[in-house]
């Protein structure tokens, strides 16, 4: 809804990736959580007036919660379909609007729960399991 908020897109996922690296979370988990966070924060910036992103780190998993008071989503099946987008022109001009954000979140999450009330807002919970990701990943930076 607000082209102004788009300038900050990426700030949350950058910060979250840094926190996870500092906590010693597996690089592959950091990579996947970073992608999920980026898509979620982008959608909050484009489609709502604001929201809250919560990161929880456990021994066996990382969880991300997204909550906003935006317009909500009428058809939860439709928005999960690759290519579906209602992005406004200003967002498309910036390269958003491929309709790949939610599919990309689902692909990178081990569990993905999308809830919404039209007119009220949207909430997403995404979990990435840490076990089995210990030795994967090629995106390890220095000290990661
Ligand atoms: N937080 C939200 N509140 C309301 N509607 C949303 C929200 N997030 C997504 N949507 C709706 O779901 C559609 C699909 O979202 P998705 O992220 O997959 O694609 P996009 O944002 O349109 O394009 P892309 O992410 O590829 O740049 C959006 O176009 C919008 O209609
Ligand atoms: Mg999107």
Query: Does residue 28 belong to any structural domain of this protein?
Result: yes
Ligand 1 centroid to 40 CA: how many Å?
9
Which residue would you say has higher pLDDT here, 4 or 97? 97
- Give the model's confidence band at 2: pLDDT under 50 very low, under 70 low, under 90 confident, else very high: low
Q: What is the radius of gyration, based on Cα positions, of the chain?
A: 15
Residue 143 placed within a domain: no
| Structural domain harbouring 15 | 3-129
| Residue 135 pLDDT level (bands cut at 50, 70, 90) | low
Does a structural domain hold residue 111? Answer: yes
Domain CATH code at residue 121: 3.30.565.10
Of 109, 89, 117, 88, which is closest to residue 40 (Cα–Cα)? 109
CA of residue 91 relative to chain centroid, distance: 17
The answer, yes or no, to whether any atom of ligand 1 lies below 6 A from the CB of 98, is: yes
Q: Does 140 map to a domain?
A: no
pTM above 0.85, yes or no: yes
Q: Is residue 135 part of a domain?
A: no
Contact 53, 10 (CB under 8 A): no
Please check whether residue 44 lies inside any domain of the structure. Answer: yes
Task: Kindly identify the ligand whose nearest atom is closest to the C-alpha of 85.
Answer: 1
24 contacts: CB under 8 Å, gap ≥ 6: none
Q: What is the pLDDT of residues 35-82, one digit of tens each?
A: 999 999 999 999 999 999 999 999 999 999 999 999 999 999 999 999
Q: What is the pLDDT of residues 108-126, one digit of tens each?
A: 999 999 999 999 999 999 9
Note the pLDDT tens digit of each residue in 6-39.
888 999 999 999 999 999 999 999 999 999 999 9
pLDDT value for 5: 79
What number of CA atoms fall less than 13 Å from residue 109's CA on the CB side?
23
Residue 86: both structure tokens together: 């209602």
Q: For residue 144, what pLDDT is reported?
A: 43
Going by the DSSP 8-state scheme, the letter that residue 49 receives in this structure is S
Q: How many domains is the chain built from?
A: 1
Residue 134 domain flag: no
Q: Is 73 in the pocket of ligand 1 (CB under 6 A)?
A: yes
Q: Which ligand has the nearest atom to the CA of 88?
A: 1
Could you tell me whether strands 121-129 and 111-117 are parallel, antiparallel, or unpaired per DSSP bridges? antiparallel
Domain assignment of residue 30, yes or no = yes
Ligand 1 within 6 A of 30 CB?
Answer: no
């Amino acid at each position: 809804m607000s082209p102004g908020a788009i300038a900050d897109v990426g700030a949350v996922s950058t910060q979250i990736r840094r926190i996870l690296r500092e906590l010693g979370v597996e690089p592959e988990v950091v990579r996947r959580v970073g992608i999920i966070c980026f898509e979620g924060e982008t959608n909050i910036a484009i489609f709502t007036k604001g929201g809250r992103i919560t990161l929880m780190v456990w021994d066996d998993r990382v969880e991300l919660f997204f909550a906003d008071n935006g317009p909500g989503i009428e058809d939860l099946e439709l928005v999960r379909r690759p290519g579906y987008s209602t992005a406004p022109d200003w967002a498309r001009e910036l390269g958003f609007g491929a309709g790949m954000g939610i599919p990309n979140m689902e692909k990178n999450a081990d569990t993905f729960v999308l809830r919404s009330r039209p007119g009220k807002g949207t909430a997403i919970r995404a979990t990435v399991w840490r076990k089995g990701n210990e030795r994967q990943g090629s995106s390890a930076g220095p000290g990661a």
